[in-house]
Amino acid sequence: MRRVLTALCLTAALLVFAPHIAPYDPMQTAPTKALQPPDRTHPFGTDMFGRDVFSRLLYGGQRTLAIIVLATAVTVLPGLCLGVAASGGPLQQPAVSLINALLAFPSLLLALVILTLLGAGALPLALAAGLSLVGAYARIVRSAVIAVRPALYVEAALVMGASPRHILLRHILPNIQPTIAAYTGVIFSYNLLNSVALSFLGLGGAPGVPDWGIMLAEGRAVLRAAPWISLAPGTAITLVVLAVNYLVAAPRR
């Protein structure tokens, strides 16, 4: 677990300091070096415009990571409030109805609809990816809260006259924290996959912008001649998802 956590921290540091680490400008073209295989000068090769794939991977990861962090926050904050409201109280029925309505659509389809309304770009992409998973997150929170409400310590707090807000903040939320933390990691992975899929479809930003999804789409046209263009972002996405899922599952082992 420590090795995986260390690897994730190093990856995050590489992405944060991408402008200081990347050997080339990710947007700089060099037609004479187009589709150059990996070598000492370009460790991950170049794309069809002669741009350095390693530099684009770092800058693209920086952009993708920022989108995913924002998307996860957009999922967690409304999802937590909606899930708690749906677990009991005067807002239970409308909250449950809203959750069911959100779950009626596949998350990627819902994200497509939201992104169509908001327009293309990094911020709309983060909002669309995050909002599309609010229903799924709220359902997990609701189930966790309902499982804790009958506990003796909650009933004891009620008998002692504690307010619903006090019970929620001091007794319920702390005891469902492991469940929430674990599912937040799952949501992070889903947001990563959904945002990459949307960028792959051309909805994440302008063509040529360093982004893992856009890099996958660009490499598709020359996949046989230059597989390294798609291999770099594809491998990065796979490793990040596997590492996050491993960390999420580690406390349960």
CA distance 190 to 146: 25
Identify whether 38 is part of a domain.
Answer: no
Identify whether 35 is part of a domain.
Answer: no
Q: Using a pLDDT cut of 70, give the percent of the chain over it.
A: 94
Identify whether 40 is part of a domain.
Answer: no
What is the residue range of 68's domain?
2-16+45-252
Burial track 60-93 (b if 16+ CB lie within 10 A, e otherwise): bbbbbbebbebbbebbbebbbebbbbbbeeeeee
pLDDT tens for each residue of 127-141: 999 999 999 999 999
Tokens in use for 222? Answer: 């020359």
Burial of residue 14 (CB within 10 Å: 0-12, 13-18, 19+) is middle
Q: What is the mean pLDDT of residues 20-46?
A: 91
Cα atoms in the Cβ-side hemisphere of radius 13 Å centred on 172? 27
pLDDT tens for each residue of 190-210: 999 999 999 998 888 777 889
Please tell me the predicted confidence (pLDDT) of residue 15: 72
CB contact set of 203 (below 8 Å; sequence gap of 6+) = 112, 115, 120, 125
The model's confidence at residue 251, banded by pLDDT at 50, 70 and 90, is low
Identify whether 244 is part of a domain.
Answer: yes
The model's confidence at residue 8, banded by pLDDT at 50, 70 and 90, is low
Mean pLDDT over the full length of the chain: 88
Identify whether 188 is part of a domain.
Answer: yes
pLDDT tens for each residue of 37-94: 999 999 999 999 999 999 999 999 889 989 999 999 999 999 999 999 999 888 999 9
Identify whether 198 is part of a domain.
Answer: yes
Identify whether 212 is part of a domain.
Answer: yes
Degrees, nearest 5: CA angle 167-144-156:
30
CA distances from 124 to 15, 216, 217, 251 (A): 22, 20, 19, 34
Domain count, the chain: 1
CA distances from 111 to 23, 63, 128, 203, 211 (A): 35, 19, 5, 11, 18
pLDDT tens for each residue of 94-115: 999 999 999 998 998 999 999 8
Identify whether 36 is part of a domain.
Answer: no
CATH of the domain at 86: 1.10.3720.10
Degrees, nearest 5: CA angle 59-61-64:
115
Strand partners for 46: 52
